[in-house]
């Protein structure tokens, strides 16, 4: 089993935890727990569903759940779990930490794993090689198939069996300001058109892109996600998974091509806000604010579903749909127009018990997923949750866009690779941006990590 570094825990937590923070509007009212408020009707529906799951069974005791969301996000999850406790009497002890991967690994190594954990799907797959995880398909297959698309379930599966449940789910998208963006959009847009537009804008002295790569532990990770999205839009979901699981080499022509496609934008000072050097030091939490600045300092950014919340939380005058919106990343190959990469984590169980089974059934249920969606923090992947459950118009649009039967989800290295590879790839992005001529060396270095050298 791989060693899960604290560095990668922070990288993933940074990307996955940025969906938003508890708002002041959630701080008071009915259905409140830990400072987080849900609509009472949704809470009652979730409690009723939990009771129906349990039926006549007598549950007791407690469950330990570990993940990387803490602070306001941790409080939100605790409030989300409370209806299950109210219905069953089973206390859910949630522990959130930016060092979650290391903490879980230590617990597992000591023979004392938590009952349930939330990690990237690749970590789940690796634990499955050394531990018997709870197979959800063995007892809740009908519920899963009725509430999630095959593509979503496949990403949480091992050898055709579902082992994990998603809570929040963040797609990678192209964000733009409708008031200033002059580039291609719509279903017929292609990435070549985006590239041509980028070059035209640069020649006219206009900066097309925000491309903040962060600093510290997350440096380069946004670029890694950008490259994976470009790869999936040209080579498809299966090739993306092959890359993530090591079947397709980092030194392959396809991977090199994806890096170069990214570099055709990201390695040119005139195309990115602050120039290449500036992009390497810009904080990912505020680095996309140029979209809505007065005047805008960029027109587009590729980043996750959390981007709208980040910008709205740190910039003034944001009006979703007016000066901030998103679209699917245009594809290089038309057959992959609906192939979408994402950044999300699954909750899965080391322990098989009536309490654990009931809790996972609760998490996956339409009623619980609707409750979580109503917090307006993250999109949820349950196809039965109405977009109207969100009050945020952008989250409503994301729900309509990404969770239909025509979407093919693609998981790549950021979700499936070994820790050393994920970390090495992010560092490799930085090295490539600093010296584009080093690409062959960068890719070989990452492949060496994949090979355990």
pLDDT digits (tens, 9 = 90+) for 123-140: 999 999 999 999 999 999
Question: Tens digit of pLDDT for each residue in 304-360?
Answer: 999 998 898 899 999 999 999 999 999 999 999 999 999 999 999 999 999 999 999
DSSP conformational letter for 295: S
Of the pLDDT bands very low, low, confident and very high (cuts 50, 70, 90), residue 8 is very low
Residues 299, 366: one domain?
no
Structure tokens at 187: 């279903």
Residues 6+ apart with CB under 8 A from 250: 243, 425, 443, 444, 446, 447, 450
Give how many domains the chain has, as a whole number.
2
Residues 36, 113: one domain?
yes
Residues 242, 319: one domain?
yes
Q: Residue 376: what are its φ and ψ, rounded to 5°?
A: 60, 30
Give the domain range for residue 12: 6-169+343-399
Does residue 405 form part of some domain?
Answer: no
Of the pLDDT bands very low, low, confident and very high (cuts 50, 70, 90), residue 22 is very low
Coil, strand or helix: which one is 207? coil
Residues 12, 137: one domain?
yes
Q: Which residues pair with 92 in a beta bridge?
A: 63
Q: What is the pLDDT of residue 101?
A: 85
Of the pLDDT bands very low, low, confident and very high (cuts 50, 70, 90), residue 15 is very low
Q: What is the pLDDT of residue 34?
A: 55
Residues 127, 275: one domain?
no
For residue 207, what is the domain's CATH number? 3.40.190.10
Alpha carbons 451 and 453: distance in angstroms, whole number: 6
Are the beta carbons of 323 and 56 closer than 8 angstroms?
no
pLDDT, average across residues 60-77: 93
Q: How many helices (H) and strands (E) does the chain have?
A: 18, 12
Does residue 428 form part of some domain?
Answer: yes
Of the pLDDT bands very low, low, confident and very high (cuts 50, 70, 90), residue 272 is very high
Residues 110, 211: one domain?
no
Alpha carbons 28 and 320: distance in angstroms, whole number: 25
Is residue 7 over pLDDT 70? no
Does residue 304 form part of some domain?
Answer: yes
Alpha carbons 427 and 418: distance in angstroms, whole number: 14
Q: Residue 338: what are its φ and ψ, rounded to 5°?
A: -105, 15
Residues 6+ apart with CB under 8 A from 412: 228, 231, 232, 240, 241, 243, 244, 341
Does residue 284 form part of some domain?
Answer: yes
Q: What is the pLDDT of residue 2?
A: 31
Does residue 406 form part of some domain?
Answer: no
Residues 337, 348: one domain?
no
Are the beta carbons of 49 and 55 closer than 8 angstroms?
no
């Amino acid at each position: 089993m791989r060693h899960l570094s604290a560095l990668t825990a922070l990288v993933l937590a940074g990307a996955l935890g940025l969906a938003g923070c508890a708002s002041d509007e959630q701080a008071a009212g009915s259905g409140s727990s830990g400072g987080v408020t849900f609509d009472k009707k949704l809470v009652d529906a979730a409690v009723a569903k939990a009771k129906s799951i349990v039926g006549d069974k007598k549950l007791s005791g407690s469950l330990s759940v570990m993940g990387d969301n803490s602070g306001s996000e941790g409080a939100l999850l605790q409030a989300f779990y409370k209806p299950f406790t109210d219905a069953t009497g089973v206390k859910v002890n949630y522990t959130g930490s930016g060092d979650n991967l290391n903490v879980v690994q230590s617990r597992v190594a000591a023979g004392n794993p938590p009952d349930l954990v939330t990690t990237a799907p690749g970590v789940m797959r690796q634990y499955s090689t050394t531990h018997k995880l709870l197979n959800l398909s063995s007892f809740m297959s009908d519920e899963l198939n009725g509430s999630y698309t095959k593509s979503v379930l496949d990403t949480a599966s091992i050898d055709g069996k579902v082992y994990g449940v998603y809570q929040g789910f963040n797609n990678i998208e192209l964000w733009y300001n409708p008031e200033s963006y002059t580039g291609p959009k719509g279903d017929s847009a292609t990435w070549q058109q985006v590239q041509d537009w980028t070059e035209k804008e640069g020649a006219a002295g206009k900066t097309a892109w925000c491309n903040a790569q962060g600093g510290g532990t997350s440096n380069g990770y946004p670029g890694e996600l950008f490259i994976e999205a470009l790869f999936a839009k040209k080579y498809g979901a299966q090739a993306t998974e092959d890359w993530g699981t090591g079947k397709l080499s980092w030194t392959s022509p396809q991977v090199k091509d994806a890096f170069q496609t990214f570099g055709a934008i990201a390695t040119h000072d005139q195309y990115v806000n602050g120039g290449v050097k500036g992009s390497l030091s810009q904080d990912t939490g505020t680095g996309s604010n140029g979209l809505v600045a007065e005047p805008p300092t960029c027109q587009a950014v590729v980043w996750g579903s959390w981007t709208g919340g980040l910008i709205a939380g740190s910039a003034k005058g944001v009006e979703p749909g007016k000066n901030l919106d998103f679209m699917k990343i245009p594809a290089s190959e038309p057959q992959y127009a609906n192939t979408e990469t994402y950044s999300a984590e699954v909750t899965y169980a080391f322990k098989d018990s009536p309490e654990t089974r009931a809790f996972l059934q609760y998490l996956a249920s339409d009623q619980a997923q609707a409750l979580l969606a109503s917090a307006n923090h993250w999109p949820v992947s349950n196809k039965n949750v109405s977009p109207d459950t969100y009050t945020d118009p952008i989250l409503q649009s994301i729900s309509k866009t990404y969770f239909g039967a025509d979407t093919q989800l693609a998981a790549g290295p950021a979700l499936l690779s070994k820790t050393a590879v994920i970390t090495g790839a992010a560092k490799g992005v930085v090295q490539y941006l600093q010296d584009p001529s080093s690409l062959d060396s960068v890719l070989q270095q990452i492949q060496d990590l994949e090979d355990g050298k």
